[in-house]
Amino acid sequence: MKTMAYFSLFLFTSLACRERQPTEHSEQIGPVHVRHAFSSKSVHPWKVDMWLDATLYRVGEPIEVGFRATPLKPNERWHRPATKASLTITPASGGKPRNISQIVELQECQALPAGREIIYSEILDFPPKEFCWQATLEDVFHSSWRRNGKYLDPDRYAMDAEIALGETKVKFKRIHVDVEIRKPHR
């Protein structure tokens, strides 16, 4: 039965390359989260992973950005760092960029429900074995029709992010996001 669940996950991953995927749930393995545009950087004393819930959105869909902070020295017990996320999304057509900056409340990864995550077609256990904190910024650019947000125009966008963990700043540049013309699902 577990083999069938993993085969289903592999098939799900192969088909879920760009669009937002609902969180799948399996009795055998728990929730399954697909991480798109996954990127990882290490800046002493942290390793920071960042991802999107999709890279192709419909007009009016919210963009969710997730990130995880893992201490580079795994044997030390770290306190939750004061965290701030600053993100900019810029349309390729030269329109006005959108900027956000907000304080982020991190959650201890090990306190989150156990399941799996899919990163570049690799199925991994969640939470990771190493101690970490994680956060998801929902509707980060206030573009959701559900919240009467200001839609992002159809275009290709480049997103830049800076995650500040205490005094340490980690930057991610030119993450591509596409917004297409189709109307949002209601």
Express each pLDDT in 100-142 by its tens digit. Answer: 999 999 999 999 999 999 998 899 999 999 899 999 999 999 9
Q: How far apart are CA 63 and CA 183, in angstroms?
A: 15
Evaluate whether residue 185 is within a structural domain: no
Evaluate whether residue 76 is within a structural domain: yes
- Here the tokens at position 72 are 């580079």
Evaluate whether residue 161 is within a structural domain: yes
Interval 152-181 mean pLDDT: 95
Compute how many other C-beta atoms are within 10 angstroms of the C-beta atom of residue 179.
Answer: 22
pLDDT score recorded for residue 13: 44
Tokens 């879920």 sit at which residue? 16
Interval 55-69 mean pLDDT: 93
Total domains in the chain come to: 1
Averaged pLDDT of the chain: 84
Q: CB–CB of 65/161 below 8 Å?
A: yes
Q: How far apart are CA 183 and CA 186, in angstroms?
A: 9
pLDDT score recorded for residue 26: 53
Evaluate whether residue 186 is within a structural domain: no
pLDDT score recorded for residue 161: 97
For residue 93, the enclosing domain spans: 2-180
Q: How far apart are CA 96 and CA 162, in angstroms?
A: 19
Q: The CATH number of the domain where 85 resides is what?
A: 2.70.50
